[in-house]
Amino acid sequence: MTKSDDHGSHHPHAQGASCCGGHEHAHAAQPAVAAVMAHEHGPACDHGYGKHDTAFAASTADATLWRVTGMDCGNCANTIRTALERLPGVSDIRISITKETLALVLDERLTAASTIESQIGKLGYSPSRLDVSQPALSPAVREAPVAWWRQAKGRLAIISGGLVALAYLAGLVAPRWHDPLFIAASLIAAAPVARRAFASARAGAPFTIEMLMTIAVIGALFIGAAEEAAIVVFLFCVGEVLEGVAASRARSGIRALGDLVPQIALLEVDGRIAEVSAATLAIGQVVLVRPGDRIPADGTVIEGLSSVDEASITGESVPRRKVPGSDVFAGTINHDAALKLRVGRAAQDNMIARIVALVEEAQDAKAPTERFIDRFSRLYMPFIVGLSALVAVLPPLLAGGDWGQWIYRGLALLLIGCPCALVISVPAAIASSLAAAARRGLLIKGGAVMESLAAIQAVAFDKTGTLTLGTPAVTDVLALVGNESEILAMAAAVERRSSHPLAAAIVARADADGLAEIEALDVAAVPGKGMAGTVEGLAVFVGAPRHALDWAPLSDDAAGAIARLEGEGKTVVVVVSAAQAIGIVALLDEPRPDSAAAIAELKALGIRPIMLTGDNRRAGAAIGEALGIETKAEMLPSDKAQTIRAMAETVRIAMVGDGINDAPALASAHVGIAMGSGTRVALEAADAALLHNRVADVAALIRLARATMANIRQNIAIALGLKGLFLVTTVIGATGLWVAILADTGGTVLVTLNALRLLGYFSGERASRGT
């Protein structure tokens, strides 16, 4: 009974086979499947993750970890990386702007940790050592953001603005102090910027925005433009503050997830209840959860009956009934009565912590467009410096132009050329989009996957558990020999060795009917075909009709019954005993309530949906017709993978499966999307995961990806358009220094605000759903 629905090769457990060879829900084999899928999704898919792009995807067990406050954009990370790469004994540098963290492998015999901290401090950032065993939620997410006016950049902006205002007021009262006061304002406000610029230059990163600013201020003072120099510094400081605010706002989406977990837990110790920090709970401890409280840890109910609102994890609006033995998740809300639960996962490993960690890693994974812009900006900065020098020098030398005038224009060009808005255009949009997706229950592993999703032209779906509920039930038992109870008992005897949904349904029906359990011997999977064993001394085979023909002929009556049942959209299983077909079992797996609408929405987006199923052609066609989807039936797992590979040669295709048993097909697609409420395999192996098990979220995922790429194109157009416009006006002398820096800061602000719009992409839909 494959997960491909044909009742074949569905028992890898029985022989220890790889679950990729069949499609069983092989829970015991999940780590192996995750490893296979992680490998398959590497070179084969070429999602473009570079050495530093999947920051913190590798273990930090051997790394030294710091929190570095003040990192707001890619330029900050590049400056720090360049400075540290030159130090002996430093390797494997991984920087996360989202987490505000730095991890590196350090040989302290060559370079001390204090030297690292000193170097980072000289660049204008604040490092603090972290313990790699700390909770998975990074400090940038766990802690409330510091108000901008309490940060160093905010204080510098306030001081700079105050000095400019003071200089203006003093100039009105005593005009002769006008220039000296503006010179003083420029020097005082620019001093921290210049200090960072020269520190970066000594560390091997001379072409930074701080250096451009320092050159511009010094040049402006040299030619007597003190007032404009002071304004330039002030506007630059304002831009730095806005970048920091934007970065904090982008983190807020992840912070909202972290805030779901309560800070306090009620721990039971020797029959007494004590309040403790939820972050300190250990596996095996018992906690009390009162009605209305949020559950503080992932665990298992050991006492009490209640309903729990799991909307934050599963997206289901109806609370779920919990009884002893039920699993519960941190951050969900207990409703009716008190529950006692045993902690099953530490705080750093609970479901929400893992989701947050995955989203943070995804935000640090660069999209191809972002990597191109990074490479472009590294060449662009020296080019702008050289062009500005030529504009300042060549007209006076070759055409007798005024030195003051052309130096002024060269300095303005230097400021206009700053690539801040361009560099932030992609990561700002990607970070906002990933945060919005996470709040909707959509996990996307980075910008590369986002770009791939936006280009998707076809989506292939597995059937069982994806387009259907994955909980089939026995609807018909037909006896060809003997009676129905004997047929069902014999089939259940073999199927008890399987964890596949169809097998579980047959066993459940036998138990519900009160049938005595029969012992089956020598039970084994027949790869790709079904399940075999010995029952009461007779060789028994259970599998799809086309495979049953290898074991016994089917009478005309049996073939007619099979055709009728399959025509009703049912999955049919034939029971063979002693080379004779003795019975037929029919099962039905209902489509998910939103499947038909989701398929229609994909078609409206211009995407071709297709269902790949191992079920028989008639049953597959019946389901396909009901959902309005093209169908390919009677497919083994290898057939699905081959179909995906063939389609991938001509169209951009995504595969949607359960993330456990559809490994070959998921790995063969341009994007693999896992269904299933956050199972470890689904979260760790696929390119994207739909935590809420809604088929409609596939279309939502693609719509968000397309909106994100449109937002990125708008950002790039804004950044380059403003630079192109003011570059021309600067060279012809129509705009000056303060307009140049205002244009640069304005471009950065516009790009950031445009990207932040994506945070509210699904807000209208949540309101309409009442969630």
Give me the active site residues, please: 462
What are the strands of the beta sheet with 538-543, ordered from one edge?
473-479, 580-588, 571-577, 538-543, 530-535, 520-526
Determine the 3-state secondary structure of 626 from DSSP: helix
3-state secondary structure at position 446: coil
Q: Which two tokens stand for residue 351?
A: 């479901």
- Who contacts 523 (Cβ-Cβ below 8 Å, separation ≥6)? 11, 14, 494, 497, 531, 532, 533
Q: What is the residue-wise DSSP string for 237-271?
A: HHHHHHHHHHHHHHHHHHHHHHTTS-SEEEEEETT
Q: How many CB atoms lie within 10 A of CB 567?
A: 12
Non-local (6+) Cβ contacts of 142 within 8 A are 135, 258
The Cα–Cα gap between 470 and 463 comes to 8
> What are residue 630's phi and psi, to 5 degrees?
-65, 140
Rg for the chain (alpha carbons), in Å?
32
Which residue has tokens 């400021």? 415
Say if residues 506 and 530 touch (Cβ distance below 8 Å): no
Helices 501-512 and 484-495 meet at what angle, rounded to 10? Answer: 130
Q: Which candidate, 184, 181, 218, places its Cα nearest to that of 198?
A: 218
Rounded to whole angstroms, how far apart are CA atoms 397 and 197?
30
Contact 630, 611 (CB under 8 A): yes
CB atoms within 10 A of CB 399: 8
Return d(Cα 703, Cα 697) in angstroms, integer.
9
Which residues neighbour 289 within 8 Å (Cβ) at sequence distance 6 or greater? 266, 295, 296, 334, 338, 339, 340, 341
Contacts of residue 434, defined as CB under 8 A and 6 or more positions apart, other chains included, come to: 253, 359, 362, 363, 444, 446, 450
Amino acid at position 159, single letter: I
Residues 611 and 623: beta-carbon distance below 8 Å: yes
Closest CA to 66 of 138, 145, 163, 172: 138
**Lookup: tokens for 693:** 């098990």
Whole-angstrom Cα distance, residue 747 to residue 756? Answer: 14
Q: Which of 210, 71, 234 is nearest to 157 (CA)?
A: 234
Q: Where are the alpha helices (DSSP H) in 611-736?
A: 617-627, 637-648, 663-668, 680-685, 696-731
Say which residues have a Cβ less than 8 Å from residue 182's Cβ, sequence separation at least 6. Answer: 164, 167, 171, 226, 227, 229, 230
Structure tokens at 654: 């995504």
